[in-house]
Structure 1
Amino acid sequence: MKTKFLIPLFAFFALAILLGVGLTLNPKELPSALINKPAPHFSLDLLNGSGSTFSPSDLKGERWILNVWASWCPSCKYEHPIFNEIASKTSIPLVGLNYKDKPQDATRWLAQRGNPYTKIPSDINGDVGIEWGVYGAPETFVIDEQGNIIYRHAGPIDPQILESEIAPFFPQLQTLFASAKG
């Protein structure tokens, strides 16, 4: 008779422990199964409507940044000046994957805020985002010379994240921060 009452009690404590552990996790630190693996292949039309396409293999041999953004994304407004600064002060290839966005809205948004991107593939349906494990905009990836994803950040990039997490992958950014401090 006593064990009949202990089972729900143990179940309650087990559930409380699991929920307690879950509350300590940082949702911004979403794991990516793609780190140190080849970047998923895609070929998408560019936003500018030129009929040209972009594929990650176009930048094989170069280290580059992929920024997933959209005109409907409030956090993208916050991080956009940082990408404008990277573009104006370095030659790092910066690809802006326009995610689930209307081309006319994205074009207008860039006209108002500046265009830091060297290429802007348009992922209207979000299929490429699914392949890359994108949870939502913004997300930023660093891809190495061999075409492997070596870093991923979910959420907006701020100056601290740029300096502490992304700059170590790019000597140009490290030099930029060193000269700003000196």
Structure 2
Amino acid sequence: VAKQKTNWDNLVENISQNEWYDTILDNKVLFGIGTVVMLILAIILYGMVGGNNEAPDFTLRDTEGVTFSLSEYEGKKVVILDFMFSTCEPCEKLVKEAIEPYSKKMDNNEVVIISVSVFGEDSEKTLREYAEGYGWRHALDIDPNNSENKGEVTLDYKVTGTPKIFIIDKKGEMTYSHTGPISESELSNEVKKAQTGQGGVVNLQQSSIFLFAVGAGVMVFFSPCSFPMLPGY
């Protein structure tokens, strides 16, 4: 009984009958070199871009009117960087269940908390009134009194939702990030990891990984050696 062809069988047959596929088969060496070059480029790009977990520096003005920079804490304190806005319910949950209880027991000589209001949701007055209930620094990412602060921090940290929290160690490197509420114990544990050099690695740039996946995927898919590994072949 003849085996009934599947859609996949028909696709493979159609591809193999095209002249461009015959050209690929006739240039296996060139194709192999192309694959190796793609892998090398991906590794280089990852080292240059994707592997960098240095926290982007920024300068903002807090609700007390004091201008500060993230870099001033480098070598001195671990930073808990919280992206939020005052009417965000999940942000308030994060504050009540993690940040506020942790702030009451943390060593102020070792750890600092910075909350940055994003997306233009808060006015200067609104954020100032909100911050009065808490004992840490708050600032607007979009500052109406400073033409240089127009949301760049949000863009630099790839913030697309709130709350978004980062932990930055004394070397200025991001060791943890999370979107959404977390517990006080998790926050405390991640800060300890940052303090002891046991923290993770956070990469804001993933373009090289994407290039690797697409490039290698295309190379492997059209490789003469790939079809035996594909389903239904």
Contact map agreement 2:162 2:180 (CA 8 A) in 1: yes
Superposed, which structure 2 residues align to 1:18-37 within 5 Å? 37=53
| One of 135, 159, 174 as aligned partner of 1:116 | 135
- Equivalent pair of 1:94/1:116 in contact (CA under 8 Å): no
The residue number in structure 1 matching 2:116 is 97
RMSD: 2.8
Q: 1:66: which partner in 2?
A: 81
The aligned counterpart of 1:6 is 7
How much does 1:70 deviate? 0.7
Assess, with a 3 A threshold, how the Cα gap between structure 1 residues 74 and 80 changes in structure 2: closer, same or farther: same
Q: Contact between 1:35 and 1:152, CA under 8 Å: does it hold in 2?
A: no
* Contact 2:127 2:138 (8 Å CA) reproduced: no
**TM-score of the superposed pair, with normalisation by structure 1:** 0.65
How big is the shift at 1:128? 0.6
What's the CA shift for 1:159?
Answer: 3.2
CA contact (8 A) 2:94 2:181 kept: yes
Unaligned 5+ runs, structure 1: 11-32, 172-182
Contact preservation (8 Å) 2:118, 2:141: yes
Check whether the contact 1:35–1:150 (CA below 8 A) recurs between aligned residues: no
Q: Give the TM-score normalised by the residue count of structure 2.
A: 0.52
Letter in 2 for 1:108: E
**% same residue:** 26
Q: Give the 3-state SS of the residue equivalent to 2:100 in structure 1.
A: helix
The match for 1:88 is: 104
Q: How does 1:41-56 map to 2 (within 5 A)?
A: 41-48=57-64, 50=65, 52-56=66-70
Which 5+ residue runs of structure 2 have no aligned equivalent?
12-48, 143-149, 197-233
Shift of 1:36: 5.7
String of CA shifts for 1:130-150, please: whole Å, max 9, x gaps: 101112211111111111111
**Structure 1: which amino acid aligns with 2:161?**
G
Shift of 1:57: 0.8
Q: Is the 8 A contact 1:35 1:148 kept in 2?
A: no
Q: CA deviation at 1:34?
A: 7.5
Relative to 1, partners in 2 of residues 1:154 and 1:147: Cα closer, same or farther, differing over 3 Å?
same
In the alignment, which residue of structure 1 is the partner of 2:155? 130
- Mapped pair 1:106 → 2:155: no
Count of residue pairs brought into register by the alignment: 142
- Alignment-derived partner of residue 154 in structure 1: 179
Q: Say if 1:35 and 1:122 are closer, same or farther in 2 by CA, change over 3 A.
A: farther
